[in-house]
Structures are given as C-alpha cells and as structure tokens.
C-alpha cells in the first residue's frame, strides 16, 4: 500500500520529447503490427490465451490493447480537450462554475499556492455532452416538484485522468445502451472534466470540482429533481462519481453540525438545495489508489497478465492526478474503499473477475455493505477484464456488456 504516488511514474525520457516522440511513434507502428500478427497466431490455441475460457477475439483484442496502451505510456501521450462543440451543436454545453460557496472542504477556492508551491486548483468552465439530445430546461416551481419521473444520468468517463472527453466517438455507444436500458425519455449528461494530462494538465481536485459544477448545473440551472439523477462512472470516472457521493454526505454532515449559525447559513442556503441523487453506478471502479498507484503491486497481482492495463499505466495516471507533493493516495476522496461511510445513495458496483482491480472493488462493496443503512449491490462478471462496460462490444464481450448494463438498469428500477 502506497501513501504517495510514484514520483518517477510519469514518462519523461527522450521518447516523450521531439524529435524522439515522432521517431519512437514511427518505430512503434510496426511493433504494434508485429505484435498483432504474433498474438493472432499464438492465440489460435485456447491454452495459450490469458484465460482458456476467452474466445480468440477476446484474447487478441485484449492483448493488442495492452500493447497499444504500452506504446502510449512510452510516448507519454495524453489527451488535450477542447471546449468547442464541433459537430455536436447544441448537444455540447458549457458549464460555468457554481458560486464559490458550493465548493467546500478540499474543493474550496484557494487564492494562494500551497507549501509545496503548487498553483491553486480552482473550478473552471467545462464542457459536457447530452445524449441523445439536450434536456428541456425547467425553471421556477417546476424545478422543485418531482413531476417528471424520467431518469437523468450524470456520467463520468474513464481514461486514467489522462484520456477521454465523453463525446460520441468514445462514449456514444455505451451512453446509448445505458439510456435505452434505463427507460424511455432517459437523458444523460457526460461530463468533459479537466484531465491531468494534455496541454493543460490539471490535477486533484479539478475532476471533483467539475463533478460539483455539473451537479449544480443539473439541479439548479436545468431544474432536475435529484430523485431523477443517477450518477455513473467507469474506472477513473467512478472515482469522480464516488467522490461526489462522499461530498454530498459531507455537506449533510456540515449542515447538521452548523445549522443556521452564521456564517455557515449563507453556505447552506445554497447547499440545502443539493440533496443526494437516486443511485450511483460504478463500473470497474478505481476506488483504492493506495493500490492502483503502486506499479509493483499491480504487476504482481494474479490477474495482471489478463488485464490490458499495466502497472506502469496505472501508476502514471495516479501520479498525474495526485502528485506526491500535492495529495496523499489515502485521501478519502481518492481511496474511498478505505473509508466507508453512510449514504442514502444506492450503489451498484461491478467488477470483472479477470481484472487487477477485482479484489479492491469487492473489498469496497463489502466495506460499504457493513455500514448500517447503505444499499449496495455487487456484480462480478467471471473472467472479464477491466471496464467491459465500455469496451465490451469492441473486444468481444458484447453479451457481458449487455448483462452489466441490464443489471445496473434493473437495480435502478428496483429503487
């Protein structure tokens, strides 16, 4: 168990800088091709596959993904995001930060650098994509009434805080599947939270601040009653979703403690309008960075050879979002598995039996089940690698992907 991220985890050798980047990228293309051919032959025999139960396609795609991600790590390639709508038109919306009093505790506005000279991380304008179309805005009295029973999903994509933007190219298929499973008139807002990589790397607590911004946007600006909201996140996106659940529990504790005493009353006049959402769906969630940030522990896990995520990749993403001089990995918002708490938000937790995070995820579910009043449903899909919720249709686990999304929808419908 690591307390702080590996300082040497982020790639920084000659391959991450020009002209080395271009040179290594050109060398790596034939490497990827050779690896694809090699494994396409090796995996003709089921006994040679990472799991004998895997189909040829499952084994080949998973291994090629691992090689491709390995090359991206060698190059230090991470994604830059844009606030331009592009072809999305009015489906892509810009969300401005909520009033400063909405961000309390570790997510509060800070005007000065910390003791390690890290620049303060403040809430900023972010983007988000609606699926299948923008939700009609409801204001005034309608925003306080639970007249509309249709579901609104607030979703956070995966990508180790280094990649992803929640747009249709990467998230469209799974967003549509989840919406259709949750029922007619379901809308989803996929948040393009700030990444810890790319041209403007922004570490913790930026993604969590962005989750608050998006939640306030739905409840206050769009007039969505919280009882209609279902949080969803896969992998690192689940870290953000669970952080929002903890933050809302924190607000409740603060409100109960301070009551209407000034100056707290000014805060809670706003925060009292942010009751908890209906449910939180966590798919292959990253909920214990004291483990995920340890590349050696990751690579020593019994499922390491079957997962397309490597210890080096996991450690890089961890160090990027949680630099060792900024925050410890046992922070409750990064490793909620270590700090179970009471919450009225019902939780659906899914893990793949062949992913490295399997034990961590099950431990999280077991710990939260023990807290009185919590409702937690755990689903482990045998022999599946990480985040089949997202990659199932690509990597040959389409039926398992459907099973996962159907089980999550059934859970929501039972509430």
- Catalytic positions are 235
Angle, to 10 degrees, between the axis of helix 311-321 and the axis of helix 56-75? 50
Q: In terms of Cα–Cα distance, which of 308, 309, 314 is closest to 293?
A: 314
Is residue 261 exposed (0-12), middle (13-18) or buried (19+ Cβ within 10 Å)?
exposed
Cα dist. 414→154, 231, 283, 402, 409 in Å? 19, 16, 18, 18, 9
Interstrand relation of 229-234 and 279-283 (parallel, antiparallel or unpaired): parallel
In three state form, how does the secondary structure of the chain look?
CCCCCCCCCCCCCHHHCCCHHHHHHHHHHHHHHHHHHHHHHHCCCHHHCCCCCCCHHHHHHHHHHHHHHHHHHHHCCCCCCCCCCHHHHHHEEEECCCCHHHCCHHHCCCCCCCCCCCCCCCCCCEEEEEECCCCCCCCHHHHHCCCCCCCEEEEECCCCCCCCCCCHHHHHHHHHHHHHHHCCCCEEEEEECCCCCCCCCCCCCHHHHHHHHHHHHHHHHCCCCHHHEEEEEECHHHHHHHHHHHHHHHHHHHHHHHCCCCCHHHHHHHHCCCCCCCEEEEECCCCCHHHHCCHHHHHCCCCCCCCCCCHHHHHHHHHHHCCCCCCCCCCCCCCHHHCCCCCCCEEEEEEECCCCCHHHHHHHHHHHHCCCCCCEEEEEECCCCCCHHHHHHHHCCHHHHHHHHHHHHHHHHCC
> Distance between CA 302 and CA 297 in Å, rounded?
10
Q: Are 99 and 71 in contact (CB under 8 A)?
A: no
The structure tokens listed for 110 are 């800070």
């Amino acid at each position: 168990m690591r307390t702080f991220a590996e300082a040497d985890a982020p790639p920084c050798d000659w391959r991450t800088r020009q002209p080395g980047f271009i040179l290594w990228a050109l060398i790596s293309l034939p490497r990827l091709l050779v690896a694809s051919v090699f494994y396409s032959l090796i995996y003709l025999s089921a006994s040679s596959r990472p799991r004998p139960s895997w189909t040829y396609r499952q084994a080949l795609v998973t291994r090629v993904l691992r090689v491709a991600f390995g090359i991206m790590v060698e190059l230090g390639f991470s994604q830059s995001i844009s606030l331009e709508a592009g072809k999305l038109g009015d489906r892509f919306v810009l969300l401005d930060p909520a009033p400063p009093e909405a961000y309390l505790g570790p997510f509060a506005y800070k005007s000065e650098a910390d003791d390690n000279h890290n620049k303060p991380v403040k809430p900023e304008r972010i983007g988000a994509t609606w699926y299948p179309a923008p939700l009609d805005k409801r204001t005034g009295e309608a925003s306080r009434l639970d007249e509309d029973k249709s579901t609104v999903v607030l979703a956070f994509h995966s990508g180790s805080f280094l990649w992803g933007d929640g747009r249709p190219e990467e998230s469209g298929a799974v967003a549509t599947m989840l919406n259709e499973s949750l029922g007619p008139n379901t809308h989803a807002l996929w948040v393009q939270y700030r990444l810890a990589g790319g041209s403007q790397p922004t570490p913790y607590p930026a993604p969590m601040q962005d989750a608050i911004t998006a939640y306030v946007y739905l409840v206050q600006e769009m007039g969505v009653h919280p009882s209609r909201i279902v949080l969803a996140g896969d992998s690192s996106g689940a870290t953000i979703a669970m952080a929002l659940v903890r933050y809302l529990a924190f607000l409740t504790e603060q409100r109960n403690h301070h009551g209407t005493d000034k100056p707290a009353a000014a805060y809670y006049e706003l925060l009292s309008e942010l009751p908890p959402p209906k449910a939180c769906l966590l798919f292959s969630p990253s909920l214990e960075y004291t483990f995920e940030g340890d590349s050696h522990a990751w690579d020593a896990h019994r499922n390491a050879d079957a997962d397309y995520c490597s210890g080096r990749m996991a450690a890089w993403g961890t160090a990027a979002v949680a630099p060792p001089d900024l925050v410890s990995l046992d922070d409750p918002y990064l490793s909620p598995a270590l700090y179970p708490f009471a919450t009225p938000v019902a939780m659906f937790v899914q893990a793949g039996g062949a992913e490295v995070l399997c034990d961590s995820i099950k431990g999280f579910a077991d710990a939260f089940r023990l807290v009185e009043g919590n409702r937690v449903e755990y689903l482990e899909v045998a022999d599946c690698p990480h985040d089949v919720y997202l990659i199932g249709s690509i990597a040959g686990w389409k039926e398992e992907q459907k099973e996962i999304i159907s089980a999550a929808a059934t859970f929501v419908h039972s509430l």
